[in-house]
Every structure is written in structure tokens, then in C-alpha cells.
Amino acid sequence: MSNQRSTSRDEDLLLQDFSRNVTTKSRALFSGNAAVVSAIPLWLFWRIHQMDFSSYFIHFILGTIVSTYFLNLAYQNMKFILKHKIAQKREEAVNREISKIFASDKSANKKDKDDRVLTRKNEVADFEATTFSIFYNNTFYLVCLLVLSFFVLKNFSPTVNYLFSVALSTAMVFLFSTGQK
Amino acid sequence: MFSKTALILLAFISVAYSQTDDEESFLFVTKQTVNRFIVQGKELTIKYGLYNSGPTTVFNVNLNDVHSYPSKYYELLVGTLNPKWERINAGTNLTHVVVLKPKESGISNSSHAIVTYQKSEKNTEVQRTYSSEIGDVYIMTGREYDRRFSSHVIDWILFTAMASPCIVFPFFLWFNSKRKYELLASKDKTTKKAQ
């Protein structure tokens, strides 16, 4: 009975490890971040390109929604790819960490310890992959957007400038996140 | 026969003399703008130059450019669009400056200014001449001017302040975790080596 329970628990852990699905908390974090990062440049467009909200609000809303959606996907893609790489790297360190904790506890068996290591490794890899993915994608997106909007498309009309810079930088971030192996 | 040729010769000489404009002067008038850009709601400076190129003085010079800048579209700030001068001496020139403020944006055409003057004090016959024209100019809106030219330093600083948490915070979290585990891994490697 307990054997079956622990096997299904192993399977769950494995599934969780290899699944692309993110937890609700992760999803909320990603969505929130994507929305914030998509909304910040609007301020820049308003102040510097003199695009007032009343005449451009449709463009702004559309652009923000599109970039939020694709940024979200980019975060998830990059996190998934990074998680496995990081998990491999951190295996040894996590092992040591758990061993230290278990050194004082004599009653724990190897199985529990291994479970604990696996869970902890997952947690750490998840955390690091999430934070790095957010950091990297945010930076990439903002840099692309700034370069496109203020250097490449500088002399175009504000509408063209906004739509193209948001579309192109979103596309670049998204494609880059899917391209890595 | 001889008198006829003399007469003809005299006629030729007088015509030739009159064509060298010995006794009359002409006024040349230029009209130009000093601005590089013409912006709605910002000052526009128009400079009129009147040049008396001939040997005699001209009198009662009157420049009229009211028709180029109707008060509906331009506000007059400095100067008058209808100045008068009593005389302009031979070989001298003068400039007249008018400062306007365009009220509307778009393409605007300002035509020639009309200058009238008398060639002599006694002869009241008025000679009319036209200035050069500026032609079609594009008056840009204040917003467009701000967009292109103002420095926006404060805007950039505020943007950097808003965007940095999104970048710095995740980086900080990731970096801390990474350092902690790499330290753990490297410490164990060194203790292993020592063993």
C-alpha cells in the first residue's frame, strides 16, 4: 500500500519535473511581470513621443495585451529550458545541503532523503529558472524596444513607431525564447 | 542731312543715358525668416531688407505686408507690418524686423510684401515694388516640436527608475541563489580535495 503510494508520488514528482505546465503561483507571477513590463514603456511613449492617451488608447491597449501574452509565453519557454540545465548543475550542492540537514536526524532513511533531495532540487531549479527567465526576458524586451523606438524608427510617425517597435521586440523576445535548446 | 544725323545721334545718346539709370534709384526689398523651424505658438521672426542701390535718395517709403499675415492666423508681437520711412539715402540699406506668433499649424504661404516709394520729393508719382517671398512654409505643431527637440532628461530618469525594479529584483534573487549553491558545491569540492 505504502509502496504504491510512494510510487505514484514519484510519478507525480517526475511529471511535475518534466511538465511544461506552470503552477498557479508561477503563472500569476509571470502574468503580473509581463503586464508591468509591457505597461512601463507606455509612459515613455506618452511623454517623449507625445502620444496622448485619449487619441491612442486603442493602440496602447492592443499593444500591451499582445506583448503581455507573448512575454508570458517567453517566460514559460525559457523557464522550462533553463530548469533542467540548472537542476543538473545544482544536484551536487543540493545533495550536500540535504545531507547536512539529515546528518543530525538518524531516523531518516535513504528513500526519504532522496525524495527530499529531489524536491529541493526542483524547488531551487524552479526558483532560479523563474527569476533568470524574468530578468533576461525583461532586459531583452526593454532594450529591443528602446533601440527600435528611439533609434531605428525615430523619424516615423508615432503610431507606426509604437506598433512596430512593440511588435518587433515582442516577436524577437518570443522567438529567442523558443529557439534555445 | 547733318542735323538729321545729329538729331538721331542725340536721341541715341539720351536713350543710352537714361538706360544707365543715372538719375533714378530702385529699391530692392528682400523678405526672409530667421527661424530654422516654424512652430505653432512659438515666435516667428521675419526680416525685411530694403536696399537703395542707385545714386539718388528715395522718399516716403512705405512697406505693407499686412495681407501676408492676417491677424486671424498670426499674432503680432513685436514691430509693425506697415512701417514707413521718410527717406532712404543713396547707397544705404535698412532692415525691419517683425516678430509674429502663428496660431495654427499646417502649410502656410506668405506672399510678397508691397513697397511703395517716391523717387523725388517733388514728384508725387509712387513707384511700387515687391519684395522677395518666403513661399510655402510648414508650421509644425508644438507637440511635434517637443517630440523632436526637447531633451526629456527627466522623463528618461523616471523611466529608468520605474523599469529598474523589474530587472534588478529578479536578477538579485537569481544571483543570490546561484552564489549560495555554487559556494556550497565549491566548498565541498575543496573539502573533498583536502581529504
Q: Does B182 touch chain A (CB under 8 A)?
A: yes
Per-position DSSP letters for chain B, written without gaps between them: -HHHHHHHHHHHHHHHHHHTTSS---EEEEEEE--SSEETTS-EEEEEEEEE-SSS-EEEEEEE-GGGS-TTTEEEEES-SS-EEEEE-TT-EEEEEEEEEE-S-EEEEE---EEEEESSSS--PEEEEE----EEEEEE-HHHHHHHH---HHHHHHHHHHHHHHHHHHHHHHHHHHHHHHHHHHHHHHHHHH-
Chain-wide mean pLDDT for chain B? 84
Query: How far is the alpha carbon of A12 from chain B, nearest alpha carbon, in Å?
Result: 26
Residue B85 near residue B94 (C-beta atoms within 8 A): yes
Chosen for mutation from A37, A83, A134 (greatest number of chain B CBs closer than 10 Å) is A134
Which burial class, exposed, middle or buried, applies to B163 when counting CB atoms under 10 A from its CB (0-12, 13-18, 19+)? buried
Confidence of residue B194 (pLDDT cuts 50, 70, 90): low
Q: What mean pLDDT do residues B78-102 have?
A: 91
Cβ separation A48–B158 shorter than 8 A: no
Q: Which three cell numbers stand for residue B38?
A: 516654424
Residue B16 confidence (pLDDT) above 60: no
Residues sharing a CB contact under 8 Å with residue A174, sequence separation 6 or more, in sequence order: A70, A71, A73, A74, A77
Residue B102 confidence (pLDDT) above 70: yes
pTM for this predicted structure: 0.67
Query: How far is the alpha carbon of B192 from chain A, nearest alpha carbon, in Å?
Result: 12
Q: Which three cell numbers stand for residue A44?
A: 515613455
Residues of chain B contacting A138 with CB distance shorter than 8 Å: 166-167, 170
Task: Identify the CATH homologous superfamily for domain B24-148.
Answer: Immunoglobulins (2.60.40.10)
CA distances from A126 to A98, B59, B174 (A): 17, 92, 11
Per the listing, cell 522677395 goes with: B132
Q: Using an 8 Å CB-CB cutoff, list residues of chain A that contact chain B.
A: 33, 36-37, 40, 43-44, 47-50, 90, 92-94, 96-97, 124, 127-128, 131-132, 134-135, 138-139, 142, 158
Confidence of residue B184 (pLDDT cuts 50, 70, 90): confident
| Edge-to-edge order in the sheet of strand B106-110 | B38-39, B135-140, B106-110
Residue A44 near residue B155 (C-beta atoms within 8 A): yes
- pLDDT tens-place values along chain A, 181 residues long: 555 555 666 666 666 555 556 678 888 989 999 999 999 999 888 888 888 888 888 999 999 999 999 999 999 999 988 888 888 888 888 888 888 887 776 666 778 888 888 888 888 899 999 999 999 999 999 999 999 998 988 888 889 999 999 999 999 999 999 876 5
Question: What is the spatial distance between Cα B171 and Cα B168, in angstroms, rounded to a whole number?
Answer: 5
Task: List, for residues B150-163, the tens digit of each pLDDT value.
Answer: 778 888 899 999 99
Residue B22 confidence (pLDDT) above 70: no
Confidence of residue B87 (pLDDT cuts 50, 70, 90): confident
CA distances from B174 to A126, A138, A139, B158 (A): 11, 14, 14, 25
What is the complex's ipTM, to 2 decimals?
Answer: 0.81
Q: How many CA atoms lie within 13 A of A59 on its CB side?
A: 19
Question: What is the spatial distance between Cα B96 and Cα B119, in angstroms, rounded to a whole number?
Answer: 21
Q: Does B15 touch chain A (CB under 8 A)?
A: no
Residues of chain A contacting B157 with CB distance shorter than 8 Å: none
Pick B126 or A7 by higher pLDDT: B126
pLDDT at B195: 56
Q: What mean pLDDT do residues B27-32 have?
A: 90
